[in-house]
Chain A
C-alpha cells in the first residue's frame, strides 16, 4: 500500500509533475474550443488529473490509506453511476450539485487544517506542561512564545479562512440552486423582509471573524468555536443569497457559484502550498467568471443587480394589465402546412423545450422538413435554458449537427429573410419589449428578433407570461400564431401531420 518511493512534498519531482498536470488541464480546455477536438481535450485533462492525484499519493506524510481508498472508491462509484444516469435536461442541476461538492470539500479541508493547528497547540502545551512538572518551573505555551515563534503564519491562516468562507457559501448556495432546479424548493424568488440588511450583517460578521482569528493567530489563542461559527454564518449567507434568485437568472447563479468554488480551491492551494490546486482552482475561477459576465451581458443586467434585486416582485404588478388583447392561434395541422411550404425555418428553443423533453421530436420535425427541401436552423439565445449552453447540449443529444446551432448575433440579421420562426418553450428572450419599451424591466436585453421573420409560430402551454412575469407583445403580433399545448405533444402532432401532407 505504501508507495515505493515517497516524494518530498516540497521537492522538485512533485513540483514538476504538478506542472505536467496543470499543463494538461490548460491544453485540455484549449482543445475544448472546438467540438471536434473537445472530447480529446477532456481526456487529456483527465490524464492530468490522474497524474496530480498519483503524485500526491506518492508524497511523504500521506497516510490513513483505509480512508483514502475507501473515499476514492465510494466517490468513484457515485460519480460513475451519476454520470451515466443523469439526463441531458438535468445538466444544470448536476453542475450545481458538483459546484457544491467542490465548495463543501474545500470548506471541510480548511476546517481540518485549522483543527490540525489546534492539535499541534494541544500537543505542545502538554509537552511544555510535562517539562514544567519535570523541572518544577511554571511553563506554558504563552511563556514559551516569548522565546520561539509559535503562531500560525498569516499567509497560511488568511487563505485558509478565505477558502473556508467561500467554500461554505458555494456549498450551501449550490445546494439551494440544486433544490430549485430539481424543484425540491419553489423556483420563484423567496425573499425575507430586510434580506439585504441581513446579508450585509452576515458578511460583516464574517469579516469580523477573520480579523479576530487573524489577530489571535498565536497557537495558544486559536479558537475552533469561532471558526465553526464562521463556517455556519457562511452557510446561512450562501443560502440567503441564492434563495431570492429564481428560474431565468439561474445561468448567472450557476456560473457565479462555479467561479466561487474555483476561487476557494485556489485559496486552499495557497494555504497548503500546492501549485496544482492553485492553478486548477484559478482556471475554474476564470471560467466561472467569464461565463458569469457573458450571461449578465446577455441579460443586459449587472451581476450585483441579478444577485441583489429580486426580479419577480415588482414586475408581477407591472405586467398584470388584465385587458384581453386579440391573438391568433392555430392547431398542429395548420402549423404543419405553414412549415411544409416554407423555404427557411428557424427554431428558437427555450427552457420549455427542456422541461417537455422535446429535443428528439424537434429533430424529427426538422428531418421531415429537410426532406421537403426546407432549410432548418436553430437560434440559440445565450441565456436560453437554465445554464450556459444548455440548449446546445440538448440538441446535440438529439443528433442535431452543431453547425445548425446559430448564435443570436449571428442569426438575427438573417431573420427578416426567414419564412417561419418556431418558438418552442422560449419567451422572454424573444420579447420585443426588450427593444421597444423603455419601461420594461428587460429593456436593453438582446433578444432573438423573431418578430422580424415573415411568420412566427409560438408553441406554448398557455398565454401566461414567462418567469419574469412580463407580457410578451410578440404573442399579439398579427404575424404570430400561437399553438397551445405541451411542446413535445404539439411537435409530435406536427411531425405526424407532415407525414400525411
Chain B
C-alpha cells in the first residue's frame, strides 16, 4: 500500500475518532480510557508479524515481550472496562450475586 493511501486512512480515522469520542460524556471517561488501552493492544498484530521473521534469540525475546504486552493490554483492558461498565449499567443489584456475575461476564469478553 502506498504512503498516501495510508495517510488518507489515518486522517479519515482521526476525523471519525474525534467525532465519535467527543460525544462520550465525562462520566464515562475512565472506561473510555481503559477501552482505548485495550484497542491499542492492537499492537499485538505487529508483534505477531515481526516474530514471524525472527532470526535470533534476541529477536524472539523482543517479539515475545511485545506479544505479552499487547495481550495484557487487550485482555486486561477489555475485562476491566467491562467490570467498570457493569457498575454503570445496573442500578440495583443484590450484593451476593456480584462475584458470580463478574465471573460469568469476564470469560465472555476476554477475547484474545
Contacts and interface: CB of A to CB of B under 8 A. Distances in A.
Interface of A: 9-10, 22, 25-26, 28-30, 32-36, 38-39, 42-43, 45-47, 49-50, 52-53, 56-57, 59, 61-64, 67-68, 70-72, 74-76, 78-80, 82-84, 86, 88, 91, 94-95, 98-99, 101-102, 104-106, 108-109, 111-113, 115-116, 119, 155, 254-255, 258, 261-262, 265-266, 268-270, 272-291, 294, 380, 382, 387-390, 392-393, 396-397, 399, 401-402, 405, 407
A280 B22 contact: no
Contacts of B45: 52-53, 56, 272, 274, 276-277
Nearest to A82: B76
Contacts of B75: 75-76, 79-80, 83
Contacts of A104: 65-66, 69
A107 to B, nearest CB: 9
Given A71-B67, A74-B68, A98 B34 contact: yes
Contact of A273 (B1, B29, B78, B83): B1
Contacts of A389: 26-33
A402 B72 contact: no
B74 A49 contact: yes
Contacts of B25: 33-35, 407
A43 B109 contact: yes
Contact of B14 (A108, A268, A282, A402): A282
Contacts of B9: 275, 278-279
A262 B40 contact: yes
Contacts of A402: 27, 88
A29 B33 contact: no
B20 interface: yes
Contact of B31 (A42, A99, A405): A42
Contact of B23 (A33, A86, A392): A33
Given A62-B48, A76-B110, 14 more contacts: A39-B89, A47-B111, A49-B38, A53-B74, A71-B47, A75-B75, A83-B79, A99-B40, A258-B36, A280-B42, A281-B40, A282-B17, A287-B17, A382-B26
18 contacts: A29-B24, A32-B31, A42-B81, A45-B39, A53-B45, A64-B51, A64-B52, A67-B51, A79-B79, A84-B106, A101-B69, A115-B55, A258-B37, A262-B40, A277-B45, A282-B14, A388-B32, A399-B92
Interface residues of B, number: 90
Contact of A278 (B6, B28, B62, B81): B6
Given A47-B111, A284-B40, A402-B88, A105 B17 contact: no
Interface in B41-100: 41-56, 58-60, 62-89, 91-93
B26 to A, nearest CB: 6
Contacts of B43: 102, 105-106, 109, 265, 268, 277, 281
B58 to A, nearest CB: 8
B41 A102 contact: yes
A392 B18 contact: no
Nearest to B79: A83
B34 to A, nearest CB: 6
Contact of B42 (A10, A30, A52, A155): A52
B17 A283 contact: yes
User: Shortest 9 CB-CB distances between A and B: which pairs?
Assistant: A75-B71, A286-B17, A71-B67, A389-B29, A79-B76, A79-B75, A388-B29, A280-B42, A389-B30
A270 B3 contact: yes
Nearest to A410: B26
Given A42-B31, A83-B79, A393-B31, A49 B50 contact: no
A106 B38 CA distance: 14
A270 B9 CA distance: 10
Interface of B: 1-3, 6-7, 9-10, 13-14, 16-18, 20-56, 58-60, 62-89, 91-93, 102, 106, 108-112
Contacts of A42: 31, 35, 78, 81-82, 85, 109
Nearest to B6: A270
A430 to B, nearest CB: 17
Given A274-B49, A389-B28, A94 B34 contact: yes
Contacts of A282: 10, 13-14, 17
Nearest to A394: B30
Contacts of A34: 25
Nearest to A288: B36
B26 A30 contact: no
Contacts of B29: 291, 387-389, 392
